Amino acid sequence: MPKSEDKLIDKNGLRIDGRKLDELRSTKIEVGVLSNADGSAYIEQGKNKILAAFYGPHEVHPKHLALPDRSLLKCRYHMAPFSVDERKSPAPSRRDIELSMVIRQALEPSIFLEYYPRTSIDLFIEILQAHGGTRCAGITVASLALADGGIPLRDLTVACAAGKVEGKLVVDLSDDEDKKGEADVPLAFMPNLNAITLLQMDGQLTVTEFEKVVDLALEGCKQLYKIQKESLKAKYVVGEGE
Amino acid sequence: MPKSEDKLIDKNGLRIDGRKLDELRSTKIEVGVLSNADGSAYIEQGKNKILAAFYGPHEVHPKHLALPDRSLLKCRYHMAPFSVDERKSPAPSRRDIELSMVIRQALEPSIFLEYYPRTSIDLFIEILQAHGGTRCAGITVASLALADGGIPLRDLTVACAAGKVEGKLVVDLSDDEDKKGEADVPLAFMPNLNAITLLQMDGQLTVTEFEKVVDLALEGCKQLYKIQKESLKAKYVVGEGE
Amino acid sequence: MPKSEDKLIDKNGLRIDGRKLDELRSTKIEVGVLSNADGSAYIEQGKNKILAAFYGPHEVHPKHLALPDRSLLKCRYHMAPFSVDERKSPAPSRRDIELSMVIRQALEPSIFLEYYPRTSIDLFIEILQAHGGTRCAGITVASLALADGGIPLRDLTVACAAGKVEGKLVVDLSDDEDKKGEADVPLAFMPNLNAITLLQMDGQLTVTEFEKVVDLALEGCKQLYKIQKESLKAKYVVGEGE
Amino acid sequence: MIIRIRQKQIAQLMSNGERLDGREFEKYREIKLEMGVIEKAEGSARILLGKTEVLVGVKIGVGTPFPDTPDKGVLTVNAELVPLASPMFEPGPPRENAIELARVVDRGIRESNAIDLEKLCLVPGKTVLVVFVDLYVLNYDGNLIDASAIAALAALLNAKMSKYEIEDGEVKVKPGYIQLPIQNYPIAVTFAEIDGKLIIDPSLEEEMVMDARLTITFEKDGKICAIQKGGTGQFTREQIVDVVKIAEGKSLEIRKLVVKD
Amino acid sequence: MIIRIRQKQIAQLMSNGERLDGREFEKYREIKLEMGVIEKAEGSARILLGKTEVLVGVKIGVGTPFPDTPDKGVLTVNAELVPLASPMFEPGPPRENAIELARVVDRGIRESNAIDLEKLCLVPGKTVLVVFVDLYVLNYDGNLIDASAIAALAALLNAKMSKYEIEDGEVKVKPGYIQLPIQNYPIAVTFAEIDGKLIIDPSLEEEMVMDARLTITFEKDGKICAIQKGGTGQFTREQIVDVVKIAEGKSLEIRKLVVKD
Amino acid sequence: MIIRIRQKQIAQLMSNGERLDGREFEKYREIKLEMGVIEKAEGSARILLGKTEVLVGVKIGVGTPFPDTPDKGVLTVNAELVPLASPMFEPGPPRENAIELARVVDRGIRESNAIDLEKLCLVPGKTVLVVFVDLYVLNYDGNLIDASAIAALAALLNAKMSKYEIEDGEVKVKPGYIQLPIQNYPIAVTFAEIDGKLIIDPSLEEEMVMDARLTITFEKDGKICAIQKGGTGQFTREQIVDVVKIAEGKSLEIRKLVVKD
């Protein structure tokens, strides 16, 4: 049930930002944008602006956290105070802590952590501007930051949400669609491995709707995966095809 | 001086919960109630509902806190948010920190801590429902949790308060009596060793009254001591006398 | 521009506490006032009342902070809750943290820290009553605490502010002058080494005014330096001249 | 290393269709549920799910609404993994596991509109009732989410609240109590994936070796109202679709234990 | 180990009726008390009890009453064991020793009704005066409780407050000052138990080896208004009864130092 | 040890009048400034000073004034050294370096009266606008103060705010936006002292070996409005006087990059 009088989808079936139901937001990715970090990438997905970077593998502090058989992946999802309408306090919220955890769990399966025992990889995702779907865009860009830094990956991880807005199933929900829509299903995926590594849902969907939404999200992931690969190519394969 | 119009003691000398002046609240104790903890016990004393459990003796974290000649007893008195009328924030209050300390000091003399150098015993007292005298009931049940876990004790520690309500000296004050009464003296005792290990007082008492109140509290301790021992027997001596 | 109707300087050119423009507040210093600390001193400069003391050089906690080639100077500027008009919360404010840092940096150049590698010197400055210029008075008295405790110093460090009040350049601003005046320049100095080790400014000054204010502050430092040395003599040279 | 060996044992058993405690793959441990155990709380329930024990208390207070929902009461779910429940828990502010637990239970209650929050508004934009749901874990033996979600629903159903009225702009408490308005009954069903196989209601030993976790919460009309994948493993689309169907049926069974018609 | 040896020396001395610093068992160290030392505070006092030095400041502000005492001002006692006072003290939020110190001093003031809190109510249920008593330990050489309690009473007696009035629902400060209304004079007396013997006003060296501590606070009419046992040792009923009697007499002596008729 | 060697190399170069990156002593790295980069913020700017990158966002909200300035809006400057900017930065609340950075930038804005805070008062003593300036460091390669101060001024100049009105004691937002009232343009200029010589705009490598740092902030009329000495080294009176003069000229050049006439 829509929670507001504003129409999110017009009579032509277009969404408030002019997109079709199965259309992703305009997405730009740049790899290798920071000079200090060991790997970094930047994404603009609609009005989302997100920077990801990591340091490592390096020694673990404090030492007793080190794992004997693999690297310890740490992850911090953090929002700039000016990234949202109402200024956000810099202290991590409960939402920030949950998202840091599920993002870490979404990325872990893609990394050959066993190559670097007793070390840690410290991954930072900075939300400079938030407009719906930041956890997914954060995963998409963080995976590229890891690739940029030469961390060996089983596959890139890509993430995209789908959901239900005013009775229609749509992909890649923006902020308004997320807040006023009926359901939101963020999903992370490794396309070559056919592996879903993040799945959450808010809202209400029948089982049948849910299956369709999962397929929409997977389709979105596949499109974004192409953009991911192109962004790597743009950085590393200057002047030639794949 | 009574702080309210409500009568806490009626014309027959009975207290609002129907007790005589020197009568304890109805008390039920069960030993060995949790499967994970190394020892545990549960008490209902009037409307108080308290769980105690410990882990240890085990390695100390951080290591530099370890004592060369005995085990380090740690103790946390903690109230569930729903244990009191107004929801309590989960963060420890100054009262919680003081009570954790005096409870630890009340129990330490009973434990052969010297048997376990360089280890710690971590004791947790959870107040699930509070209705006056939780520090005393917490000591009574914590001592049983230690016994349940096989920690060698010089004696059980038992605790009981006595005080003054509407001019009368009474034992085992309930919440209303504690708040509106004239004085409250919580006391912990090891009966076989004749040792008082906790003694506090709030309110006003003459020296003569104080001595009588101490005796009332000691008498209360002796009665609770029997219940303590019966609860151990119920757990460990199935189907036979002491 | 003066921020209030009250006149801070009267028609005779005297300041609200009766001082001339280039006159320091009445200053009393006592060295060696606390029995536990390794060195201590107390200053009253106008209504400022400040105690400084240190412990060390001793082992560093945690160990990984230890420096291989010199002692680690730690410094805490801390205000008593009753030291200011409105009760101050005991938690350190951002101002407290900044002042702790600049005071430490003002004192470090004076200390032969290289004599004590892998140790720390823990310096504490307690503002018991604050009335303008506490960072400077804190440096002046802290340097004496270090001297009292036998820490080898290249020179005493002495500090004094100067500034602009109602269009006049003045030395050693009191609380009202600091708050309502046009500019405040705190400065720390090692007279024998001709070295300025703290310099800050709030307010507005032309470049020419600024130079004069620096000279006023330096002159103030030189006067306070004499009082510093007398206070040491009073403690250590009983009954004889320098 | 010990975990690796245990993992092999469990996987071995599972390849024979067996679990450590003899359960079938899609069978819950025994559920014991007791309501009204904390008289001081407006509502309470204690659950034993096998040896996992959770006490949930509901407290209701007066507060201010969120700016974007001025005419609705406030729901706050908080979880404490108190250290007597497990040697793995430590005192202190909630960490990510406790926060996830609280937020997953919160999501089920919130997204199913289990509490009619509009009935908890006293003065729009100014004064509303706040419902605190405190999840208090007393013994941890696996599957805290399902145990907590069931006990939270039971505690909400058990909750009685004072009658409030506004007089001259001040909140007054009237005599008597009314039921907290509950209009939906979300049930969470959790699976663990071990070595490619899916089992329901994982015990602690199974959680220690699982690759991933998937929780699906159903509301009373059979719609999904919350999902949470946990753990560092992965699922295929097909596994998820299968799990959702099994979970749907399970949620009906469990709902009957909590909601008596 | 060093403490063990020291303990034996002190016990040995005590078996001969002697203390390290030559005092008798029931004799306090010299008390030097100075009032009004912090002009910015509404009240203040500095005590030297031997080498133990405590500065107490009283600040008075405007705040809201506790819901259960809407017509009374608020008393808040806080202790800081600032690290210049002892190598054993560390910076940071108060730990259990500082919290106990504050709460024991608080209890003596509160339970004796030393401050007439009803006189500090400006608008019942809305606006009252808040009295902050800050215990600031400057040098720690044992028996912080008695030193702090004495200095706190002296600072309260020293305290002057602004005249407040309510005009159109707003707090106005009127010219002039009045005495903070003090109506009782609690005095804390502390004993240490070492090797079965009881000594008054323990020094730091005695505290380091003591088995237990007992503080009894007396109000002006000779009633006990607060007790606190400290340390991990124990007392017999008889020891407690004895200590209370000695403390009663001592409290009279000390009260004379603080309260001049 | 490595730092010692590097220090010698840099000092050696400097004795020949050279710097590591080939700059002259009194030459800034290239400054790239972009405004309005965060649409959700009322104002924003991103600066690249060489490889040092800082993003500044300005948010404007409604709050209460400070008691001593009841008729003025509130300025709050906050700095976060987020850990992706440097391996030296750690997550958590701001430490002394971040606090110093925020306070030095704050001082320049505040002391030059850059924002006309009186225009941000809605109801004197009750309701004012609060301007949050958040300094967000994205890549740290030295001289954070100058980079942050420039970007902060640019973000303030870029800031548009809603029109607020008071109706019946409540804050109402009117349609349309107005410029944040900026009336001065403070510019910070920072020098590092290495081996007795002074260089402007130190890079990270130069900061690592510098003895001391000196920042002078000038307002538009050529007055100094803030100074901060940093580091554990020292300056002579003459050095300071020299530095001030060079800084004055530099501030004019840089101001032109930010403030277009």
Question: Nearest Cβ partner of A80 from F83, F134, F139?
Answer: F134
Q: Do A94 and D99 touch (CB under 8 A)?
A: yes
Interface-testing mutation among B33, B36, B40, with chain D (most D C-beta atoms within 10 A): B36
If you average pLDDT over residues C142-159, what whole number do you get?
Answer: 98
Helix ranges (H only) for chain B are 94-107, 134-148, 175-180, 207-236
Residues 6 or more apart whose Cβ sits within 8 Å of residue A125: A50, A51, A52, A75, A76, A77, A78, A103, A138, A141, A142
Q: B27-230: CATH homologous superfamily?
A: GHMP Kinase, N-terminal domain (3.30.230.70)
Q: Per DSSP, which regions of chain C are E strands?
A: 27-31, 39-45, 48-59, 72-79, 119-129, 158-165, 168-171, 183-190, 195-205
Is the separation of the CB atoms in E57 and C80 below 8 Å?
yes
Q: What is the CATH number of the domain that holds D146?
A: 3.30.230.70
Q: How far apart are CA A21 and CA A165, in angstroms?
A: 9
Is the separation of the CB atoms in F160 and F43 below 8 Å?
yes
Which residues in chain F are contacts of C100 at CB distance < 8 A?
Answer: 96
pLDDT at E37 over 50: yes
Buried b vs exposed e over D151-174: b needs ≥16 C-beta within 10 Å? bbbbbbbbbebeebeeeeeeeeee
Number of residues written out for chain B: 242
Number of residues written out for chain E: 261
Q: How far apart are CA C142 and CA C54, in angstroms?
A: 8
Query: Partners for F (CB, 8 Å, 3+ pairs)?
Result: A, C
Question: Nearest Cβ partner of F57 from A51, A80, A122?
Answer: A80
Residue F121, in any domain of the structure: yes
Nearest CA in chain F to A58: F87
Torsion of CA E231, B22, B156, D39, to 10 degrees: -90
Q: How far apart are CA B39 and CA B145, in angstroms?
A: 5
Q: Do A109 and D234 touch (CB under 8 A)?
A: yes
pLDDT at A117 over 60: yes
Task: Spell out the SS3 assignment of C78-92.
Answer: EECCCCCCCCCCCCC
Which residues in chain B are contacts of E223 at CB distance < 8 A?
Answer: 204-206
With cut-offs at 50, 70 and 90, classify the pLDDT of residue A241: very low
Q: How far apart are CA F205 and CA F187, in angstroms?
A: 23
Interface-testing mutation among A65, A94, A121, A212, with chain D (most D C-beta atoms within 10 A): A94
Interface-testing mutation among F30, F34, F40, with chain A (most A C-beta atoms within 10 A): F40
Q: Give the HSE-up count for residue E41: Cα atoms under 13 Å, Cβ half-sphere.
A: 34
pLDDT at B2 over 60: no
Share the mean pLDDT of chain D. 95
Q: How far apart are CA F56 and CA F166, in angstroms?
A: 30
Q: How far apart are CA F217 and CA F227, in angstroms?
A: 6
pLDDT given for residue D168 in this prediction: 84
pLDDT tens digits along D18-49: 999 999 999 999 999 999 999 999 999 999 99
Query: Partners for D (CB, 8 Å, 3+ pairs)?
Result: A, B
With cut-offs at 50, 70 and 90, classify the pLDDT of residue C1: very low
Angle at A18 between CA A12 and CA A22, to 5 degrees: 80
Buried b vs exposed e over B44-64: b needs ≥16 C-beta within 10 Å? bbbbbbbbbbbbbbeebeeee
If you average pLDDT over residues B86-95, what whole number do you get?
Answer: 95
Q: How far apart are CA D183 and CA C208, in angstroms?
A: 76
Interface-testing mutation among F39, F48, F80, F84, with chain A (most A C-beta atoms within 10 A): F84
Residue D9, in any domain of the structure: no
φ, ψ (nearest 5 deg) of residue E43: -150, 155
Question: Nearest Cβ partner of C35 from E91, E93, E139?
Answer: E139
Q: Do C97 and F96 touch (CB under 8 A)?
A: yes
With cut-offs at 50, 70 and 90, classify the pLDDT of residue A2: very low
Q: Do D233 and A199 touch (CB under 8 A)?
A: no
Q: Do C82 and E40 touch (CB under 8 A)?
A: yes
User: How far is the alpha carbon of B34 from chain D, nearest alpha carbon, in Å?
Assistant: 7
Q: DSSP 3-state assignment of B53? A: strand
pLDDT at A128 over 70: yes
Which residues in chain A are contacts of D248 at CB distance < 8 A?
Answer: 207
Asked if chain B contacts chain F via 3 or more Cβ pairs within 8 Å, the reply is no
Nearest to A203 by CA among D224, D118, D187, D222: D224
Q: Do C199 and F214 touch (CB under 8 A)?
A: yes
Question: Nearest Cβ partner of B200 from E94, E219, E227?
Answer: E227
Q: Is D259 exposed, middle or buried (0-12, 13-18, 19+ CB in 10 A)?
A: middle
Which residues in chain D are contacts of B49 at CB distance < 8 A?
Answer: 37-38
pLDDT tens digits along E39-82: 999 999 999 999 999 999 999 999 999 999 999 999 999 999 99
Structural domain boundaries of chain C? 27-230
pLDDT at B180 over 70: yes
pLDDT tens digits along C200-213: 999 999 999 999 99
Q: Do E39 and C47 touch (CB under 8 A)?
A: yes
pLDDT tens digits along E153-209: 999 999 999 999 888 878 899 999 999 999 999 999 999 999 999 999 999 999 999
Dihedral-angle region of residue F113 (phi above 0 means left; psi in -120 to 50 means alpha; beta otherwise): left
Is the separation of the CB atoms in F218 and F186 below 8 Å?
yes
Q: How far apart are CA E184 and CA E9, in angstroms?
A: 41
Nearest to A195 by CA among A98, A105, A72, A77: A105
Is the separation of the CB atoms in B187 and B218 below 8 Å?
yes
* Percentage of residues in chain C having pLDDT higher than 70: 95
Nearest to A108 by CA among A226, A40, A228, A188: A188
Count residue pairs from C and E with Cβ separation < 8 A: 87
φ, ψ (nearest 5 deg) of residue B65: -85, -10
pLDDT tens digits along A197-209: 999 999 999 999 9
User: How far is the alpha carbon of C214 from chain E, nearest alpha carbon, in Å?
Assistant: 30
If you average pLDDT over residues F98-108, what whole number do you get?
Answer: 98
Is the separation of the CB atoms in B156 and B228 below 8 Å?
yes
With cut-offs at 50, 70 and 90, classify the pLDDT of residue D261: low
Enumerate residues 120 to 159 of chain A having a beta carbon within 8 A of any beta carbon in chain F. 122, 124, 126, 128-131
Residue E44, in any domain of the structure: yes
Is the separation of the CB atoms in B13 and B20 below 8 Å?
yes
A150: tokens are 């030469």
Which residues in chain D are contacts of A205 at CB distance < 8 A?
Answer: 223-224
Contact residues of E toward B, CB < 8 A: 94-96, 99-100, 102-103, 107, 111-112, 214, 219, 222-237, 240-241, 244-245, 248
Is the separation of the CB atoms in A48 and A130 below 8 Å?
yes
If you average pLDDT over residues D176-205, what whole number do you get?
Answer: 96
C108 in reach of chain F (CB within 8 A):
yes
pLDDT given for residue D216 in this prediction: 98
Q: Domain containing F160: what range?
A: 21-258
Beta strand F127-139 with F121-123 is antiparallel
Question: Nearest Cβ partner of C124 from E82, E94, E141?
Answer: E82
A89: tokens are 């306090």
pLDDT tens digits along B183-216: 999 999 999 999 999 999 999 999 999 999 999 9
Q: How far apart are CA F252 and CA F28, in angstroms?
A: 13
Q: Do B124 and D84 touch (CB under 8 A)?
A: yes
Q: Do A37 and F84 touch (CB under 8 A)?
A: yes
Nearest CA in chain B to D57: B82
Which residues in chain D are contacts of B81 at CB distance < 8 A?
Answer: 57, 59, 78, 80, 132, 134, 136
Which residues in chain A are contacts of F93 at CB distance < 8 A?
Answer: 90-91
Q: Do C51 and E39 touch (CB under 8 A)?
A: no
pLDDT tens digits along F39-69: 999 999 999 999 999 999 999 999 999 999 9
Which string of DSSP letters, residue by residue, matches F121-140?
A: EEETTTEEEEEEEEEEEEE-
Count residue pairs from A and D with Cβ separation < 8 A: 87
Q: How far apart are CA F94 and CA C97, in angstroms?
A: 10
Residues 6 or more apart whose Cβ sits within 8 Å of residue B13: B20, B21, B168
B100 in reach of chain E (CB within 8 A):
yes
Which string of DSSP letters, residue by residue, matches chain F?
A: -HHHHHHHHHHHHHHTT--TTS--TT-PPPEEEEE---TTSSEEEEEEETTEEEEEEEEEEEE---TT-TTS-EEEEEEE--GGG-TT--SSS--HHHHHHHHHHHHHHHHTT-B-GGGGEEETTTEEEEEEEEEEEEE--S-HHHHHHHHHHHHHHH-EEEEEEEETTEEEEEEEEEE--B----EEEEEEEETTEEEES--HHHHHH-SEEEEEEE-TTS-EEEEEEESS--B-HHHHHHHHHHHHHHHHHHHHHH---
**Which tops the pLDDT comparison, D5 or E16?**
E16
Interface-testing mutation among A69, A93, A105, with chain D (most D C-beta atoms within 10 A): A105
Per the structure, the count of domains in chain E is: 1
Which residues in chain F are contacts of C102 at CB distance < 8 A?
Answer: 229-230
Which residues in chain F are contacts of C194 at CB distance < 8 A?
Answer: 236-237
For residue D125, give Cα distances in angstroms to A192, D43, D66, D74: 51, 26, 8, 12
Q: How far apart are CA B32 and CA B40, in angstroms?
A: 5
Residues 6 or more apart whose Cβ sits within 8 Å of residue F118: F71, F72, F73
Nearest CA in chain C to F68: C179
Q: Give the HSE-up count for residue D93: Cα atoms under 13 Å, Cβ half-sphere.
A: 4
For residue D153, give Cα distances in angstroms to B61, B150, D115, D133, E134: 38, 38, 10, 10, 47
Question: Nearest Cβ partner of A53 from F59, F84, F132?
Answer: F84
Q: How far apart are CA D75 and CA D153, in angstroms?
A: 13
If you average pLDDT over residues E110-139, what whole number do you get?
Answer: 97
A57: tokens are 């593998």
Q: Do B128 and D38 touch (CB under 8 A)?
A: yes
Question: Nearest Cβ partner of E91 from C40, C47, C76?
Answer: C76
Nearest CA in chain A to D108: A202
pLDDT given for residue F1 in this prediction: 55
A54: tokens are 């990591």
Q: How far apart are CA F153 and CA F257, in angstroms?
A: 11
Residue indicated by tokens 């900017």: F85
